């Protein structure tokens, strides 16, 4: 079965694409949730997807992080469920990580606050009994991770026989994490007549095969794929491998950064880097797979509230981070694909705000950088006159080099602006949430008392 690409119809032309949420004619209580959430204008994925979902068609949505795709399925879901029966699971959203499941759950609660529809999460690391109660009718909407949900279904502590809508979110990430067999087993337990939606940032062959097996004559909506958003200024920062942490600290201090998301390749790297930043008095937390659910949630809550200024995370753990005011994304380790690069830096520049993305590159990253630039075009290289660089000799030893001149734009790409100078020379940044002791702050904002 081939998946057709949606084509404009008389109601989907560029001139007639819905430009306000009122044009979707949502139930009044759902529309009230839109207003309460502060939404004013639909994003492109919402403009294209919401009418399709409201019509009852299956949907294949290809969209990057930060495009507003959660509301693209939550709003028509709430509209369709509000006048139906209660006390049974009628909508199921499957997501790859606990953080993403919690974020979707919170969006459902915000947008559906006037509907009296109940939402619950199902994932590992917490007790099963409250989840079993939700699956037995304590909630109309379940947001679940595949492994724990399949455990419940196989134990008989939950049923999906009344599900009217199934949403598979971040399908490519579920494939990367090895969840596709569990997802296929879950889909088999959903009624044949249920509406099915699948969202993914990329379309590898396994995800395409899943879409062809799960969806029936779907409408395909593809938004902003492959290229970063225009609101994001991004560039490469060449640096010797042994100076990456030093350069990171330098940039965080110069920019007076209050909301920076730093990506590392491994969970051990995330933990180690956060500890190094903590020793230098930054308000920092790590988000990686070895943390308990409570500690992961504490780190996310601290980042959202602004108590944590720097969040160091792996790609997998960062799924579900939905913070509209992330000012900087810093790739401490280079992502290996253009899709991963776009997905990472899409954490900033959201909701039509501007954002900066910086990627540290070493001599070892030539292949990965080439892969990214073949897809996106040549990216600007930036060096700082305020930082003394080292270079590696053939033996791997570091030697001092002269300060580089101010950065000059090169061909292609949108370069990240140089960080603004810091006033007063204070140590701005963050404090790690690695213990139970609350940080002590000095009189200067962002600085921890020693």
Mean pLDDT computed over 56-81: 91
| Same domain? 216 vs 245 | no
437 lies in some domain: no
What's the pLDDT at 50?
Answer: 97
Write the CATH number for 55.
3.40.50.300
Query: pLDDT per residue over 9-40, tens digit each?
Result: 333 333 345 578 999 999 999 999 999 999 98
Same domain, 84 and 214: yes
The answer to whether 198 and 168 are in contact (CB under 8 A) is: yes
Cβ atoms of 45 and 75 within 8 Å: the answer is no
Question: Residue 56, by phi and psi: left (phi above 0), alpha (psi -120 to 50) or beta?
Answer: left
Which of 358, 378, 400 marks a domain boundary? 400
At residue 334 the predicted structure's pLDDT band, cuts being 50, 70 and 90, is: very high
Q: Are residues 193 and 248 in the same domain?
A: no
Reported as a single tens digit per residue, the pLDDT across 391-433 is 754 334 444 443 433 343 333 333 333 333 343 333 434 444 4
Indicate whether 421 belongs to any domain: no
What mean pLDDT comes out for the span 275-282? 94
- Determine, yes or no, domain membership for 446: no
Q: Which of 181, 196, 223 is the last residue in one of the domains?
A: 223
Give CA–CA dist 309/336, Å, rounded: 26
In a domain, 310, yes or no: yes
**Residue 321 confidence class, pLDDT cut points 50, 70, 90:** low
Among the listed residues 285, 307, 305, the one whose alpha carbon sits nearest the alpha carbon of residue 296: 285
Asked whether residue 63 is assigned to any structural domain, the reply reads yes
Query: How many separate domains does the chain show?
Result: 2
At residue 318, the pLDDT reads 62
252 in the same domain as 198: no
Q: Give the number of other CB atoms < 10 A from CB of residue 248.
A: 25
Query: With 0-12 CB in 10 A as exposed, 13-18 as middle and 19+ as buried, what is 376?
Result: middle
| Shared-domain flag, residues 251 and 391 | yes
- Position 148 in a domain: yes
369 is written with which tokens? 């950088």
Q: Is residue 262 part of a domain?
A: yes
pLDDT at 219 over 80: yes
Same domain, 178 and 73: yes
pLDDT at res. 172 = 87
pLDDT digits (tens, 9 = 90+) for 260-269: 999 999 889 9
């Amino acid at each position: 079965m081939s998946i057709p690409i949606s084509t404009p119809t008389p109601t989907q032309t560029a001139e007639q694409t819905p430009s306000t949420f009122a044009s979707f004619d949502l139930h009044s209580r759902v529309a009230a949730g839109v207003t309460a959430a502060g939404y004013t204008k639909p994003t492109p994925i919402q403009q294209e997807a919401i009418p399709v979902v409201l019509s009852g068609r299956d949907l294949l949505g290809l969209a990057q992080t930060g495009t507003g795709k959660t509301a693209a399925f939550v709003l028509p879901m709430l509209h369709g469920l509000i006048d139906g029966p209660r006390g049974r699971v009628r909508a199921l959203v499957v997501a790859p990580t606990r953080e993403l499941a919690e974020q979707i759950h919170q969006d459902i609660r915000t947008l559906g606050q006037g509907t009296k529809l109940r939402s619950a999460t199902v994932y590992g690391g917490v007790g099963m009994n409250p989840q079993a109660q939700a699956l037995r009718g304590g909630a109309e909407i379940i947001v679940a991770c595949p492994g724990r949900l399949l455990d419940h279904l196989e134990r008989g502590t939950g049923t999906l026989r009344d599900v009217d809508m199934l949403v598979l979110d971040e399908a490519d990430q579920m494939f990367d994490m090895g969840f596709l067999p569990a997802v296929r087993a879950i889909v088999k337990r959903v009624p044949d007549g249920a509406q099915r939606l699948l969202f993914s940032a990329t379309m590898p062959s396994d995800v395409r095969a899943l879409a062809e097996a799960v969806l029936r004559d779907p409408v395909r909506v593809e938004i902003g794929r492959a290229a970063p958003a225009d609101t994001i200024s991004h560039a490469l920062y060449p640096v010797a491998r042994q100076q990456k942490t030093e350069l990171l600290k330098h940039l965080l201090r110069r920019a007076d950064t209050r909301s920076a998301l730093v990506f590392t390749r491994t969970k051990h790297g995330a933990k180690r880097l956060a500890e190094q930043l903590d020793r230098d008095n930054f308000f920092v937390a790590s988000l990686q797979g070895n943390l308990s659910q409570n500690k992961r949630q504490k780190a996310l809550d601290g980042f959202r509230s602004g108590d944590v200024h720097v969040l160091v995370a792996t790609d997998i753990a960062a799924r579900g981070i939905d913070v509209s005011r992330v000012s900087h994304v810093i790739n401490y380790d280079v992502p290996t694909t253009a899709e991963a690069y776009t997905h990472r830096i899409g954490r900033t520049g959201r909701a039509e705000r501007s954002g900066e993305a910086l990627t540290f590159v070493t001599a070892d990253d030539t292949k990965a950088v080439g892969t990214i630039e073949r897809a996106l075009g040549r990216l600007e290289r930036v060096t700082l006159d305020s930082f003394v660089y080292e270079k590696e000799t053939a033996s791997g030893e570091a030697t001092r080099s002269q300060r580089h001149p101010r950065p000059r734009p090169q061909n292609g790409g949108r370069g990240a602006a140089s960080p603004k100078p810091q006033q007063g020379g204070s140590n701005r940044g963050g404090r790690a949430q690695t213990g139970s002791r609350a940080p002590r702050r000095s009189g200067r904002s962002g600085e921890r008392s020693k």
